[in-house]
Amino acid sequence: MKLDRIDIKILYELQKNGRITNVELAELVNLSPSPCLMRVKKLQSEGYIEGYSAQINVGKLGQTLTVFTEITLKNHRQIDFARFLAAIDKVDQVIECHLVSGGYDYLLKFVTAGIGEYQTIMERLTDMDVGIDKYFSFVVLKSPIVKAHMPLTSLFRV
């Protein structure tokens, strides 16, 4: 499926507000409701829309700690990456994991109840011998800008 500017606009609007009505969405993308709904269903069936979820204000739930962690693996064979990822995938507090270029292998984002929980997780991971050579932790003090949407209209100028 080749996306056109209307498809991109639909995706852009839906990522900003997944609860928008079809009538409102159609108006924003300059379509009538029926063709707009057909496009949304097509985008879903083609896998461009993976699902809908609520954005939770974690600060309202209580005190949490966000930590970015750089991880370097001891070895760099495919089996080493797979073993590490299998272990990390089981840690609920890891909400992002990125394989990156540069001075380390992975950048992880943890959200925990506090520094004690984070340290317990890291000790458990190093004790499990999942291939971690070293890690560096960066505790988030404040997040003045967090965007939940991608800049689709500027990434894909169609």
Domains in the chain, please, with CATH? 5-54 (1.10.10.10), 58-139 (3.30.70.920)
Which residues are within 8 A (CB) of 5 and not within 5 positions of it... i.e. 6 or more apart?
A: 158
Residue 9 dihedral angles phi and psi, to the nearest 5° = -65, -40
Tokens of 28: 């924003």
Per-residue model confidence as pLDDT tens digits over 21-72: 999 999 999 999 999 999 999 999 999 999 999 888 888 989 999 999 999 9
The pLDDT score that the predictor gives to residue 141 is 96
Tens of pLDDT along 131-158?
A: 999 999 999 999 999 988 889 988 887 5
Q: What is the pLDDT of residue 113?
A: 95
Strand order across the 65-73 sheet: 94-99, 106-112, 65-73, 132-139
How high is the pLDDT of residue 158? 58
Buried b (16+ CB within 10 A) or exposed e, 25-40: bbebbebeeeebeebb
pLDDT at 57: 87
Which three-class secondary structure state does DSSP give residue 124?
helix
- Measured CA to CA, the distance from residue 72 to residue 32 in angstroms comes to 52
Q: Is the pLDDT of residue 85 over 70?
A: yes
Q: What is the pTM of this model?
A: 0.85
